[in-house]
Structure 1
Amino acid sequence: MTIKTATPYFILNGRAEQAIAFYQSALGAKIEALQRFGDGNPSCPTALKSRVMHAALRVGDALLMMSDGPTESAPPQGGSVNVALQFDDPEQARRCFDALATNGKVVQPLVDAPWGELFGALSDEFGINWMFNSARGKSS
């Protein structure tokens, strides 16, 4: 068996709609799929009908998936996960880094890393951890 890809899946406790709009703005994400708990399920509780059951967003060649989750309670803790983004344009990396850092927490500002590229890390306003790596280009 060959693993062809690993896709991060965010459980956002009722904030998926906000996250989708944010990632569209910050990363240029495109919605590939969006299904709500009430879609095609007439017996769905009213409180869940409009919540996002599943969404898939395309970010460049990458795919991000997310859900509100079925309740307001926090998902079980299972360790730290980071989404690593590789850019070939340092200016685009900077723009996306700055956009995701809005209302978030910068862990490592974008710096010239010892391996010859730009690197930075942050946690966005939804608690998702991101790592940025980019070719330095002429602007660094």
Structure 2
Amino acid sequence: MKTLIAYFTIKGRAEEALKFYQHCFGGEILFIQRFSETSYEVSESYKTKISHAEFKAENIHFYISDGFEKEAVNFGNGIGMTINFDIEEEHQAVFEKLKVEGEVTFELFQTTIDSSLVCVIDKFGIHWYLNYKKNQTS
């Protein structure tokens, strides 16, 4: 079995992002390692930044980092995270939280496959596609 886990680099704001995602999704921060705990050469002010952290809430699982001190981070629209919901109210509640200080790229609409879809770029530049599929069979 293989598992794909997203890895977010949120330059200088990883800790803030972790708290934000915990607020949005619930769940827990499983691990945090700061640059001061690694062998990477960083400035004194960067030692408190996160070199690696792990977050998990139900089936939402990702890693996050502030990234290397001298490395630029560029965001684009080529990758997005999709979350499928089976409860409509939860779908709406997560959307309301993620859109704070973010940008809704398309409002909630009904797709041709009997689902409701909305897309938001959160305040950290992550693209989220939130899908609620009606009449699920599983």
The answer, yes or no, to whether TM exceeds 0.5 is yes
Which residue of structure 2 lines up, in the alignment, with residue 93 of structure 1?
91
Q: Does 1:6 align with 2:4?
A: yes
TM-score (ref. length: structure 2): 0.87
Structure 2 vs 1, CA of residues 72 and 27 (structure 1 numbering), >3 Å: closer, same or farther?
Answer: farther
Identity across matched positions, percent? 29
- 1:101-112 to 2 correspondence within 5 Å? 101-112=99-110
Deviates more, 1:21-30 or 1:75-84: 75-84
Q: Deviations over 1:25-76 (max 9, x none)?
A: 1111311111111025597531221100001100211211110012265325
In the alignment, the residues of structure 1 paired with residue 17 and residue 75 of structure 2 have an alpha-carbon distance, to the nearest angstrom, of: 20
Runs of 4+ in 1 over 4 A off after TM superposition: 40-44, 76-79
Q: Does 1:75 align with 2:76?
A: no
TM-score (ref. length: structure 1): 0.85
In the alignment, the residues of structure 1 paired with residue 75 and residue 91 of structure 2 have an alpha-carbon distance, to the nearest angstrom, of: 29
Deviates more, 1:118-127 or 1:56-65: 56-65
> Which stretches in structure 2 are left out of the alignment for 5+ residues?
none
Query: Which among 36, 39, 42 is matched to residue 37 of structure 2?
Result: 39
Aligned length: 135
Q: Quote how far apart the aligned CAs of 1:93 are.
A: 0.7
Deviates more, 1:68-77 or 1:92-101: 68-77
Deviates more, 1:95-104 or 1:23-32: 23-32
Which residue of structure 2 lines up, in the alignment, with residue 66 of structure 1?
64
Query: Which among 114, 117, 120 is matched to residue 116 of structure 1?
Result: 114
